[in-house]
Amino acid sequence: MLNQLVETKLAAMSSKPQTTRNRITGVVHLPGGQIILLDTPGIHPARSALNQMMVKTSVSTFRDVDVIVFMVDAQQGFRETDSFVFDSMEKVTAPILLALNKIDRASKHDLLSVIAEMDAKKRFAEIIPISALHADGLDILSKVILNYLPEGPPYFPEGMITDSPEEFLIAEIIREKLMNLTRMEIPYASAVKVESVIRRPHASLRIDAVVYVEKLSQKKIVIGENASMLKKIGKNAREEIEKRFGDKVYLNLFVKVKSHWSENLPDLKELGYTHDIH
């Protein structure tokens, strides 16, 4: 939804839960105003220090916003995982809009029954069916969001869609490719850090990045036989970075073991996972 509204892939996407780990800002410039979207990690029962940090990031964002968009899959309906998020908003005073997503996959019956179920909760200021994938209903959603925003001067200059540094955006592209190409615990044991981005003559970029995993066995999987997996991740990432930044990209990817990085606060901080946003 964020990516469609800002017309740029800012947030990594995958079919695996807990893809988003940081709060990502996306600015939507509309004739009637500016929407500053704060995309947050999913709120879930968190065990590791990383996951606890993610949930803290999300919950602390409740205090910073004028309106919340709560999203439920229209086909799957309101599940236990949604109920966990819903309960976390108990004390929230900001108006909550309900976006029923993936209507491209939901039948009329699915949609009507989820609307009835959610309406009965008497918690949502509006219910808006959308398909983020097909950008269906997003014009309505953005109009509704604008209605809930206070008047004021624009926070971001025209044309600026995020405040995330280039290194972060590139690391997220690499992490998305890795998450989509690997299975089991690998996506969750991996973090990506961009060490340097050097602009060279003839519009080319040289990027050095490291994939951190927690064990040697995971490093072997991420590299793959004859480095086939690492090459695939690198190729997919490079193509998207080139599309996004419009330059020829030389991407040097390394894989390193950092034991227990997802449990270790200094490691989390070094990898860009902190919840001290302010």
Ligand X SMILES: Nc1nc2c(ncn2[C@@H]2O[C@H](COP(=O)(O)OP(=O)(O)OP(=O)(O)O)[C@@H](O)[C@H]2O)c(=O)[nH]1
- Binding interface with ligand X (CB under 6 A): 13-15, 17-20, 41-42, 101-102, 104-105, 131-133
- Distance CA(209)–CA(197), nearest Å, equals 9
Which of the choices Mg ion, ligand X, none does residue 234 contact, using the CB cut-off of 5 to 8 A by kind?
none
Q: How far is the CB of 104 from ligand X (least distance, A)?
A: 5
Q: How far is the CB of 102 from Mg ion (least distance, A)?
A: 14
Nearer to Mg ion, 20 or 25 (CB): 20
Strands ordered across the beta sheet of 191-200:
191-200, 204-213, 248-257
Q: Which two tokens stand for residue 140?
A: 């309505």
Nearer to Mg ion, 19 or 57 (CB): 19
- Distance CA(2)–CA(132), nearest Å, equals 8
Q: How far is the CB of 111 from ligand X (least distance, A)?
A: 13
Residue numbers at the binding site for Mg ion (CB under 5 A):
19-20
Token look-up 């990594």 returns 12
Nearer to ligand X, 17 or 154 (CB): 17
Say if strands 68-73 and 33-39 run parallel, antiparallel, or are unpaired: unpaired
Q: How far is the CB of 30 from ligand X (least distance, A)?
A: 21
Beta strands per DSSP E along the chain: 24-30, 33-39, 68-73, 96-101, 126-129, 191-200, 204-213, 248-257
SS3 sequence of 203-243: CEEEEEEEEEECCHHHHHHHHCHHHHHHHHHHHHHHHHHHH
Nearer to Mg ion, 19 or 101 (CB): 19
Which residue number places its CB atom closest to Mg ion? 20
Q: How far is the CB of 263 from ligand X (least distance, A)?
A: 20
Which of the choices ligand X, Mg ion, none does residue 165 contact, using the CB cut-off of 5 to 8 A by kind?
none
Nearer to ligand X, 19 or 34 (CB): 19
Say which DSSP state 125 is in. Answer: S
Which of the choices Mg ion, ligand X, none does residue 22 contact, using the CB cut-off of 5 to 8 A by kind?
none
